[in-house]
Structure 1
Amino acid sequence: MLRQKAGAPTAPATTEPIKIGLVAPMTGEGASYGEAAFGGAMLAVKEINDAGGINGRKVELIVEDDRCSSAGANAINKLVNVDKVTAIVGPVCSSSAGPGVPIAQSAGTPVILIGASAPDLTKVGDYIFRNYPSDALQGKFAADFVYNTLGKRKTAVIFVKNDWGQGIRNVFIERYKQLGGEIVYDEGVLQDATDLRTQITKAKAANPEVLYFPVYPQNGVAGLKQIKQLGLTATVVGGDAFIEESILKLPEAEGVLIMEGKTNNPDDFQAKVKQVSNKSINIITPYAYDAVKIFAKVIEKVGTDQKAIRDELARTVYRYSIAVPVVEFDANGDLKVAEVAVKVIQGGKTVEYIR
């Protein structure tokens, strides 16, 4: 192989790495999700590069920490305007994606959201895609489950006041009322709130049969303890943010029901992830892996022109994904086919709910 001599011209652009950005919470309360996304994305990058890259070009993953917050705007702005990435994987959190994805849309940088599930995010524009089930599906499913499967007619709602919590709360309440259910209490809490006693006391006074509780892990850890302390006996139904070690290992979480996008996360895949990252692995890991692989497949076919990537994503049918059987996007950029599963927390892990 010819080696470049010192002082020789730099290599032509066609041999430079293809830059893909990852936006995820690497620090803060949501760091376990960022670590999980990083592991999945890094495994995909390693496999691509070990196989020779994309049309002979290596992939470089550039990671930006959004702290699951409005810092997503700065993170995406840097990736788009400073790093000049070809595409972006993430954000994981809707509270980051809300202010961030309009920047990518305006710049014409393709994005695959990997957990940010607020329904309106993909409506920002045609460069925004999502391989994770939207809250439009999850919230509706939760309402149907509470009303039809559990047979409960009186529900209290305590939600986290951000794009994700507000979005899934809106969908749930609209559908539940449509079915004939009664919302007996409805109030939000701040994203960093750990004292939920006022809201729980008010919810208890309304005598609900179910507490729909789409909050973040830090809210949930404190809230589930306080629910027990205050004697609220309603069935607790949480969102997919509860699939987190701090919740699952909590004694007060035993028996809590969780709605999540039906996701495959097989043991052999997790073993491969552990070879590139010793951090958290959770529901986000396979979605991050799949997003990188989907971008690689598309770029291999059409090159790095971002409009061409967007157009190809819109017609791609990807059958090699880990998280879901097939990734195919609808006109809005969401999955054409997605399913929601009901799990129950038992013994520090989630198992399939059986009535």
Structure 2
Amino acid sequence: MKRQNLINNSWLRLILVVLLIGTLFLAEESMMKKTILIGFAAQLTGVQAELGVQERNGVQMALETINATGGVDGRKIELIIRDDHGIPEKAQAADRELIKAGVLAIIGHTTSEQTLAGLEVTNPAKVVLLGPTVSTPDLSGIDDYFFRVYPSFKNSAQAFAQYIYQRSGITRLAIIYDSDNAAYSKTYCSTFSSKYQSMGGAITSEISFSSVAQSDFSPLLLKLSASKAEGLLIIASDIDTALIAQRTRLMGWQTPLFTSCWAPTKTLINNGGQAVEGIKFEQAYALTSQSPTLLDFQARYQTRFGQAPSFGAALAYDSFLVLAAALEKTGGRPEGLRQALLETHDFQGLMNTFSFDRFGDVERPIYLSTIRDGKFITLEDLTLTDPGGE
């Protein structure tokens, strides 16, 4: 009888072990089939929200494309969105919330100042932060968890300075920039000015303003005009660039206008009107590209959102696709994600291929563009022929 009980107990223990292993296996399989959480953070409200909204739309379209074809490693992706309000402290709060929610990576932010703030949260947590449009060279060459699909403006700002001085024949230039995004605008101003002055050009006046404080541009522009400048470079958001251009023309100053890659969205045209006709800018986005993949994206975006996509939407789309491809390599796990991105080379984006270097930076072609008859037009490729000056 005792022996029979021992046999029964042994079988019972074996059954329990098998059941436990099965339960653990099913739990692991269930975890593997759970949705993959990706975060998105950008300014989505306020007067400077257009770029963030475009980027969110681009990410949403890419997510739907990936999920429609089976997701990543057989799992659907879920997007968690946070508004950083264009304020560094709120960018940090948004990233903390996303990390607490369990996201594997975050796509954002739209501007350099918010990105620098966010990295103080994401880097210690070892969470990838992927920027669609962040271009400050202050983030170049750093071994961390930041990646971007838009190149540093170190070369493009210099190429733009070279174009204005050598091709436009403007030897005296005034500059106005938004100090609230100093990581971008002040650094752009410095990079551009160094190159421009190294060729013999003169910066007649340089003035900053606060977009948060909603500065009155009239007295600032009067001072810039009085400096006898032959042209004006505006380093600001789409809405502020439009307002500055409007004020410049209303005061009768018909000087040639230039702006940086931050401003070119539909908001610039809608709010600038005739005042922004002919304004020139540099950007790593081929506005009139005939790439079949870009044309298809533009058509689908127009149908979905009722307007043409800006550079932010296209680059955010690229950001999500390259992130999804890296996650496919890791089996949808965060472990190894950074390395998978670093090993990404010749990835096919909407316009062209791109590769991450060992610091998560990219190189892409730069284009000179303008606004003509209320539309963005690409004029030519922009190349820095004489590096230096910065």
TM-score, structure 1 normalization: 0.90
Counterpart Cα distance in 1 of 2:286 and 2:96: 30
Specify which of 349, 354, 359 is matched with residue 332 of structure 1.
359
Counterpart Cα distance in 1 of 2:375 and 2:141: 35
| Residue in structure 2 matched with residue 228 of structure 1 by the alignment | 249
Counterpart Cα distance in 1 of 2:334 and 2:158: 34
Structure 1 position 110, deviation (Å): 1.1
Asked whether 1:25 is paired with 2:25, we answer no
Counterpart Cα distance in 1 of 2:307 and 2:85: 16
Counterpart Cα distance in 1 of 2:305 and 2:82: 17
| Residue in structure 2 matched with residue 240 of structure 1 by the alignment | 261
> What pairs up with 1:110-149 in 2 under 5 angstroms?
110-122=128-140, 125-149=143-167
> What pairs up with 1:185-196 in 2 under 5 angstroms?
185-192=205-212, 193-196=214-217
Specify which of 117, 130, 144 is matched with residue 99 of structure 1.
117
Deviations for 1:224-267, whole angstroms, at most 9, x for unmatched residues?
12111222232110112331223213111111112212336733
Counterpart Cα distance in 2 of 1:208 and 1:197: 16
Deviations for 1:143-202, whole angstroms, at most 9, x for unmatched residues?
111122212211111111122211211111111122221111011111243521122111
The amino acid of 2:198's aligned partner reads Q
**CA contact 2:143–2:358 (8 Å) conserved in 1:** no
Q: Please, which moves more after superposition, 105-114 or 64-73?
A: 64-73
Specify which of 348, 363, 366 is matched with residue 320 of structure 1.
348
The amino acid of 1:248's aligned partner reads I
Specify which of 210, 229, 236 is matched with residue 208 of structure 1.
229
The amino acid of 1:314's aligned partner reads L
Deviations for 1:50-70, whole angstroms, at most 9, x for unmatched residues?
111111111111111112221
**CA contact 1:54–1:300 (8 Å) conserved in 2:** yes
Partner-residue secondary structure (3-state), 1:60: strand
Q: Please, which moves more after superposition, 233-242 or 265-274?
A: 265-274
Change (3 A) 1:21 1:275: farther
Partner-residue secondary structure (3-state), 1:129: strand
**CA contact 2:50–2:267 (8 Å) conserved in 1:** no
Gaps of 5+ in 2: 1-25, 382-390
Q: Please, which moves more after superposition, 56-65 or 338-347?
A: 338-347
Partner-residue secondary structure (3-state), 1:63: strand
Q: Please, which moves more after superposition, 158-167 or 189-198?
A: 189-198
The amino acid of 1:135's aligned partner reads F
Partner-residue secondary structure (3-state), 1:23: strand
Counterpart Cα distance in 1 of 2:218 and 2:144: 43
Asked whether 1:40 is paired with 2:58, we answer yes
| Residue in structure 1 matched with residue 21 of structure 2 by the alignment | none
The amino acid of 2:352's aligned partner reads P
Q: Please say which structure displays the higher CA radius of gyration.
A: 2
**CA contact 1:42–1:276 (8 Å) conserved in 2:** no
Counterpart Cα distance in 2 of 1:354 and 1:42: 31
Counterpart Cα distance in 1 of 2:93 and 2:330: 29
The amino acid of 1:171's aligned partner reads T
**CA contact 1:138–1:168 (8 Å) conserved in 2:** no
Structure 1 position 278, deviation (Å): 4.9
Structure 1 position 35, deviation (Å): 1.9
Structure 1 position 37, deviation (Å): 1.1
Gaps of 5+ in 1: 1-7
Asked whether 1:347 is paired with 2:370, we answer no
Partner-residue secondary structure (3-state), 1:353: strand
Counterpart Cα distance in 1 of 2:130 and 2:45: 21
> What pairs up with 1:262-281 in 2 under 5 angstroms?
262-263=285-286, 266-274=294-302, 276-278=304-306, 281=309
| Residue in structure 2 matched with residue 3 of structure 1 by the alignment | none
**CA contact 1:194–1:222 (8 Å) conserved in 2:** no
